[in-house]
Every structure is written in structure tokens, then in C-alpha cells.
């Protein structure tokens, strides 16, 4: 009897692992439910590892294919977690920062204090390229300077920005602050949302490099979505409705994000220059979003996977950490260091800073 249970469990976990792996290659626009599969990978991997050990004593031949699945699963899990810091001491040629600045705090209390702290933190990194998502700038000179002040602090040569949404008193969107000369710019706002992407072609000495900044579909979760009823009735109707609503928001955002990624990847596949890509993907490393971008063009590299440490969290919600902000690059650049700054003054995203050698 217990052997039958063991084989059933082995089959279940093996199938679950295969689904987790396949899901990163299937567009959520075609199969929304598969966007949930990667979240189970860690637990499926643990379950398979336990079953592998048990099968070593019960049936060695069965343990071999399980071991293969565990090995493959661990390779995918490496996108989520790095067990050691692999930073190099080489001198960097340039530094890149990606940061969702939450409109520099203008929508929060004590907005001027938040703005100053955000500007100070960005300026202190002394980055040569700064890609900002959810940036804010005034329509006309105001007492809430953002990009102009940052450009001055960094001694930048150019500030490129793309409007994605309007405020009564300013504009929000994407911005790139660069110490390199910009020779071309393109932007692509997505329909019916405050998301989009942009790129600029910059000159590094005599070489042209295409620099992307993107902000992909947000899930739009609010506090109400995360509040569960404390009534002691098990999984009550109210909590069930909230869970269904949360799943609906997540799956719909995943489907829309998949279509956005396909549009972004189409420009990457035809890009004639080396690429540097930054952004808030609003998606985890094990996702159709990330795997599509990594496989685009001549294949990009994730700086966290090269030089990161730990979980690389860039966003936390309900005490759960996620890595949804990225810096990726073409093979012509060598990543030396990847760091997530321990700075979250606006209770939102953490900044990502990476050093490169050409």
C-alpha cells in the first residue's frame, strides 16, 4: 500500500515540476492559469528531493529520473535565488541604476522630505545611467523639482522622458538620466494603462548602445485585496471572494503583460546594437516575461544571476519578498557587481545598482 502511495506522489510531483518548467515558455495570454505554476516550483523541488532520497532505498532505477528532474528544477530555481555573492573587484567602466521611484513621493505625506531623500540616494550612487519608472516631473517650473535636480546632481548630459499618465499638477512616466550623449529615442506607451517602454541610443566613446527602460503591466493590488476576514468560519465566503478577485487581477495582468512583452521583444530581436535593459517588470524571474526577454536578440544576461546574492528582493508585500526589478545586458558588457540598495523610503520598490566593464 505504501509503495502505491509513493508512486502516486512521485507521479504527482514529477508532473507538477514539468508544468512549472513548461509554464515559463507558455504565454499567459494563451493560458492564464499557467502563470501561477512558477510560484509552486520551490515546494515541488523540495517534494521531489525528498522522494528522490526515499526512492534511493526503495527502487534505485526510479530515483534516477527523479534526480534528473531535481537537477533541472534546481537550474530554474537559480533564477530565483543565489547562494553566494559573486562580486568582482575589477574597476568599473560605468554604473547603471534602475529604480521605481513612486512619483518621487508626491502622492504621499511629507512629499518634499521623501523627494529629497530619494534624490539624495540616487545621487549618492554616482551612476552614469539612471532608469526611472513611475517618475514624476512638473509641467512647468515648480517648488517640487525632480529630474532637473537629479540631472544637475549627476552632471548628466541628457534627460529623456516619456509621459504615461497625467496629474493635475504634472506628468508621470519613464525617464532616463544619462551622462552619455543620446542620438536617438523611441517610446511605446501601452494602450489603456500607465505602462510602457522606451529606449535611447547612446554613444559610449565611438560605440552605439541601445538603452531600454520599461515598466510592464502592474497587478494593481490594493490593501483591500490583501485583507482577509478574521471571522472563525474557516475559509468563509468573504475570503473566498477576495481570493478569487486576487487571482483574477493577477491572471489578467499576466495576460496583458505577456502581450506587452511580445511587443518589447520584437524590438529587441531587430536591434542592431548591444543592449542594456532596465525596468520594473512586475513579474518574478520564473515567468514568461523574464524568459522571453532573456532569450531575445542575441540572448541577454540577468545581472542578479551573474553577481547577485540571496533572493535579490526588490519589492515586498505582506512580508513576502519578490524580485520584480531587473537590469539585463548583452554579452559585450561584463557585469562586475549587482546590488539592491537597502532603501525603501516610499514603502515601495528597492533600487538596483550594477557596475559594468566594457
* Residue 31 within any structural domain of the chain: yes
Three-state SS string over 190-222 comes to CCCCCCEEEEEEEEECCEEEEEEEEECCCCCCC
pTM: 0.91
* Residue 107 within any structural domain of the chain: yes
Helices (H) and strands (E) in the chain, counts: 9, 14
Q: Which three cell numbers stand for residue 205?
A: 566613446
Burial 196-225 (b: 16+ CB within 10 A, else e): bbbbbbbebeeeebbbbbbbbbbbeeeeee
Question: Is residue 231 scored above 60 in pLDDT?
Answer: no
Q: Per-residue pLDDT averaged across 20-25, rounded?
A: 92
When pLDDT is cut at 50, 70 and 90, the band that residue 266 belongs to is: very high
Same domain, 136 and 37: no
Same domain, 173 and 243: yes
Q: Which three cell numbers stand for residue 46?
A: 523540495
Percent of the chain with pLDDT over 90: 54
Task: Mention every residue, 6+ apart, whose C-beta is less than 8 A from residue 314.
Answer: 322, 323, 324, 325, 340, 349, 350, 352
When pLDDT is cut at 50, 70 and 90, the band that residue 123 belongs to is: very high
Q: Which range marks the domain in which residue 51 is found?
A: 2-77
3-class SS of residue 41:
helix
Measured CA to CA, the distance from residue 250 to residue 253 in angstroms comes to: 5
Same domain, 352 and 264: yes
Number of domains in the chain: 2
Measured CA to CA, the distance from residue 331 to residue 87 in angstroms comes to: 17
Q: For position 228, what pLDDT does the model report?
A: 58
Lowest mean pLDDT among 74-83, 135-144, 226-235, 287-296: 226-235
Same domain, 71 and 211: no
When pLDDT is cut at 50, 70 and 90, the band that residue 238 belongs to is: low
Q: The dihedral of CA 56, 57, 60, 65: what is its sign?
A: negative
* Residue 173 within any structural domain of the chain: yes
* Residue 282 within any structural domain of the chain: yes
Q: Per-residue pLDDT averaged across 281-300, rounded?
A: 92
Report yes or no: 195 and 260 within 8 Å, Cβ to Cβ. Answer: yes
3-class SS of residue 131:
strand
Amino acid at each position: 500500500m505504501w509503495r502505491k502511495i509513493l508512486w502516486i506522489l512521485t507521479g504527482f510531483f514529477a508532473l507538477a515540476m514539468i508544468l512549472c518548467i513548461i509554464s515559463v515558455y507558455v504565454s499567459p495570454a494563451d493560458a492564464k492559469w499557467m502563470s501561477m505554476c512558477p510560484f509552486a516550483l520551490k515546494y515541488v523541488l523540495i517534494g521531489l528531493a525528498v522522494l528522490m532520497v526515499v526512492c534511493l532505498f526503495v527502487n534505485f532505477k526510479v530515483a534516477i529520473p527523479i534526480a534528473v528532474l531535481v537537477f533541472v528544477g534546481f537550474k530554474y530555481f537559480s533564477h530565483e535565488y543565489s547562494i553566494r555573492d559573486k562580486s568582482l573587484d575589477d574597476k568599473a567602466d560605468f554604473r547603471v541604476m534602475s529604480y521605481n521611484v513612486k512619483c518621487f513621493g508626491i502622492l504621499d505625506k511629507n512629499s518634499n522630505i521623501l523627494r529629497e531623500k530619494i534624490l539624495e540616494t540616487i545621487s549618492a550612487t554616482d551612476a552614469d545611467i539612471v532608469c526611472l519608472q513611475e517618475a514624476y516631473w512638473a509641467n512647468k517650473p515648480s517648488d517640487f523639482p525632480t529630474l532637473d535636480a537629479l540631472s544637475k546632481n549627476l552632471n548628466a548630459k541628457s534627460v529623456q522622458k516619456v509621459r504615461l499618465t497625467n496629474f493635475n499638477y504634472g506628468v508621470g512616466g519613464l525617464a532616463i538620466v544619462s551622462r552619455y550623449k543620446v542620438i536617438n529615442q523611441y517610446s511605446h506607451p501601452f494602450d489603456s494603462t500607465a505602462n510602457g517602454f522606451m529606449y535611447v541610443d547612446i554613444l559610449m566613446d565611438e560605440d552605439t548602445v541601445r538603452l531600454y527602460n520599461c515598466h510592464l503591466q502592474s497587478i494593481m493590488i490594493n490593501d483591500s485585496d490583501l485583507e482577509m476576514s478574521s471571522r472563525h468560519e474557516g475559509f468563509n465566503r468573504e475570503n473566498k471572494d477576495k481570493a478569487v478577485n486576487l487571482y483574477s487581477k493577477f491572471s489578467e495582468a499576466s495576460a496583458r503583460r505577456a502581450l506587452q512583452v511580445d511587443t518589447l521583444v520584437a524590438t529587441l530581436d531587430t536591434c542592431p546594437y548591444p543592449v542594456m535593459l532596465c525596468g520594473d517588470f512586475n513579474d518574478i524571474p520564473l515567468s514568461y516575461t523574464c524568459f522571453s526577454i532573456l532569450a531575445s536578440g542575441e540572448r541577454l544576461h540577468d545581472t542578479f544571476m551573474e553577481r547577485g546574492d540571496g533572493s535579490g528582493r526588490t519589492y515586498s508585500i505582506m512580508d513576502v519578498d519578490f524580485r520584480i526589478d531587473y537590469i539585463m545586458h548583452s554579452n559585450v558588457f561584463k557585469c562586475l557587481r549587482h546590488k539592491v540598495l537597502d532603501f525603501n523610503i516610499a514603502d515601495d520598490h528597492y533600487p538596483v545598482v550594477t557596475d559594468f566593464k566594457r
